[in-house]
Structure 1
């Protein structure tokens, strides 16, 4: 059985798929969105929308999707380490008062986006599981999918966009992903408690990796614990509870980010390597300097400054700052060696990012061609 032909097929109705369907539908495109499960998702991803992300919602006319879901405004971060803290506000001074981060239950936000997309007359939102792409001479012509009631269907369109997330069963037919899983997040909900700084995310630089706290409703705080390794301790045997009680809980109690893109996240993790420890200390002290040293990195973190070059400059500034701490006032042979390893380690973290972004995109962005949307169909 074959369904009607549309202009664009979108596989997946998460944040990307639903937002894309809204934008395309407003342009007059006939969009068919196929989502495997239209029930409200219960996931811990995408719960903190940075100010830059909120501005994109405004651009798309979707800012009302964070209303009536008990979303909380977020104005920056509080950073904790070894009993000391540093407050890092978002640089919002020159922006509209409504611009701030938003934190919420992920599923509530997704459902608002889906309802917004489905309300457009040119958008068809359907529950179904896409099983494969339909290809002809290497060109994708559409998809095969199984509808909610079990029918095997085929949909055709000149353009198919796959947005079905990390559990995609189509990714391997489109590319050869190199997936690195250094750790897993474990999420807890704390009810009716207060954070030291209202309307702020809180990051504790714990051992072996950071712990995050942020509000997701007016009565709930999300705690995210990063557990190193590809597998988490099992819950059924009590190992997870023991890990949280013995390893994690003492550290928030003692000292009561998402880091700068995944690069600084590696820096913030504890390590026995003296060079990595020095880089970690330098990162905390650099952010604590205030001014451009905190507002610059936080503007990247918040999505207000999307330029990758800024990330690279601040990243190496932290490395140089750490090197200066080692060599001043009087360098020793051991400190020089640690400094050399610090710079080498920093380069090993940031160079893959530069390579992935592309030298041209990073350092000469004005030379990269810009692509603009074509006028809508009549």
Structure 2
């Protein structure tokens, strides 16, 4: 197993009265570990970034940035990081089910023409972000593996790490940001990890083919679970096949190729069937477990946990980078007025507000990802079938019935209440179709089970996210905490 370990250290030894510029690098290690590297250098603080591997990564995820995430990129002044990497604009989604299709456009009418989603090769994006970080003054970017946190009387004082040439070193700082991905070996002292692995993605690249809808992500509601297609360059299409459970057919003995050709290929749109089969024959098939984990932090003086080490959601909706960028904006704004990070207990108490302030965006995207995945998966249960069909038909109605959900998915409308209302509107729509024009005892029973099933999908996710922080953040005391005064 390849582990990614990484820390970011803040050092108050140099202070200038400048605006804070936050640099975020979001990367993915083997098996979808998300790594967030951010630095805060132009205000004079020295930043030490320790990353496992600084070479260009080659991943099958982290390739789609929703419009809401792109707006955060602009807010951070990093929009040029998607330039010169053959990134493709994405304007919405196309949904396919049982031979029918519908197109769902992002509601971008009130934004500048440049605002849209972006899809790209993850490694190219990462390298652009690293270049941006390394170009800042006071940033030290170092390749190394963090082996442990240095703790003294309950406060994290820094990290111990091993350099590229094998030396064991320590680094000390008032604040350590831990972002060591979904396989984190540091998170247990900073949070209560409850990791769920509902499925795996099987990744392929289709070459020189055209999707039915240009510059759109494509979601096929297949059996047993969804299939995704989206462009990652002007000549390449990424395909991600979801396989439920933690075990996938073997690639080595040909079981995977056979599964893709016999089970998956007949369900893809006919326009890309030949390209899909050719990609399978080419043999560059890769797999990755899909993980979800609600944020359950232990506020710890001297340290902060972020990225996939802290919070994960099913990657079906492509919301991971949007959550990460939003988190960075929240944390940047919290740290902006601070001129002294050395009072660890006071700083820790103040930064607890981060966990509440991030909730509107994070909880909306997390809940939507988990709920949509369960709705989009095929099921022998008749009530689940009706819910799946109702979701497709509801989105196909157009108007607010499509723009509402797609604005949630895109990160443009981070409102948890709106998500819940649309989710149950789909369920009620499904019940209404069952009962009209004439209800029968069987249909009434299926409708009741549909509502019960919908509740069983979304309420556990909301509970894990935190009802109070999600819907009533103003009632959380940390919401009102102010920056500690400078000494």
Q: Could you say whether these structures have the same fold, taking a TM-score greater than 0.5 normalized by the shorter chain as the test?
A: yes
Cα offset, 1:255, TM superposition: 8.7
Per the alignment, residue 468 of structure 2 pairs with 360
CA 1:95 to 1:204, structure 2 compared with 1: closer, same or farther past 3 Å?
A: same
Per the alignment, residue 248 of structure 1 pairs with 264
Asked if the contact 2:10–2:175 (Cα under 8 Å) also holds between the matched residues in 1, the reply is no
Asked if the contact 2:200–2:244 (Cα under 8 Å) also holds between the matched residues in 1, the reply is yes
CA 1:250 to 1:374, structure 2 compared with 1: closer, same or farther past 3 Å?
A: farther
Per the alignment, residue 404 of structure 2 pairs with 296
Number of residues of Structure 1 aligned to a counterpart in Structure 2: 368
TM-score, with normalisation over the residues of structure 2? 0.72
Per the alignment, residue 140 of structure 1 pairs with 156
Give CA deviations for 1:132-188 in whole Å, capped at 9, x if unaligned: 111112211111000011100011111111112112221223223111111100110
Per the alignment, residue 176 of structure 1 pairs with 192
2:38 corresponds to 1:20: yes
Deviates more, 1:353-362 or 1:365-374: 365-374
Cα offset, 1:254, TM superposition: 5.5
Unmatched 5+ residue regions in structure 1?
A: none
Per the alignment, residue 212 of structure 2 pairs with 196
The one of 32, 45, 57 aligned to 1:41: 57
Residue aligned with 1:26, SS? coil
Per the alignment, residue 349 of structure 1 pairs with 457
Q: In the aligned structure 2, how far is the partner of 1:295 from the partner of 1:28?
A: 43
2:168 corresponds to 1:109: no
The one of 428, 444, 461 aligned to 1:320: 428
Asked if the contact 1:90–1:302 (Cα under 8 Å) also holds between the matched residues in 2, the reply is yes
Give CA deviations for 1:31-63 in whole Å, capped at 9, x if unaligned: 111100111111112101000000000000110
Per the alignment, residue 438 of structure 2 pairs with 330
Q: In the aligned structure 2, how far is the partner of 1:13 from the partner of 1:168?
A: 17
Per the alignment, residue 233 of structure 2 pairs with 217
Q: In the aligned structure 1, how far is the partner of 2:226 from the partner of 2:406?
A: 17
Q: In the aligned structure 2, how far is the partner of 1:309 from the partner of 1:126?
A: 43
Per the alignment, residue 349 of structure 2 pairs with none
TM-score, with normalisation over the residues of structure 1? 0.92
Cα offset, 1:366, TM superposition: 4.0
Asked if the contact 1:140–1:160 (Cα under 8 Å) also holds between the matched residues in 2, the reply is yes
The one of 11, 15, 34 aligned to 1:7: 11
Per the alignment, residue 147 of structure 2 pairs with 131
CA 1:203 to 1:294, structure 2 compared with 1: closer, same or farther past 3 Å?
A: same
CA 1:18 to 1:180, structure 2 compared with 1: closer, same or farther past 3 Å?
A: closer
CA 1:374 to 1:47, structure 2 compared with 1: closer, same or farther past 3 Å?
A: farther
Give CA deviations for 1:90-135 in whole Å, capped at 9, x if unaligned: 0000001110000000111111111111111121111000001111
Cα offset, 1:287, TM superposition: 0.2
2:317 corresponds to 1:258: yes
Asked if the contact 1:182–1:229 (Cα under 8 Å) also holds between the matched residues in 2, the reply is yes
Name segments (4+ residues, structure 1) moved above 4 Å: 15-19, 253-257, 370-375
Q: In the aligned structure 1, how far is the partner of 2:459 from the partner of 2:66?
A: 25
Q: In the aligned structure 2, how far is the partner of 1:289 from the partner of 1:276?
A: 20
**Superposed counterparts of 1:22-171, under 5 Å:** 24-171=40-187
Asked if the contact 2:10–2:176 (Cα under 8 Å) also holds between the matched residues in 1, the reply is no
The one of 226, 240, 250 aligned to 1:234: 250
Q: In the aligned structure 1, how far is the partner of 2:373 from the partner of 2:481?
A: 32
Asked if the contact 2:25–2:38 (Cα under 8 Å) also holds between the matched residues in 1, the reply is no
Q: In the aligned structure 2, how far is the partner of 1:152 from the partner of 1:362?
A: 42
Give CA deviations for 1:270-301 in whole Å, capped at 9, x if unaligned: 10000100000000000001011100110011
Q: In the aligned structure 1, how far is the partner of 2:404 from the partner of 2:44?
A: 39
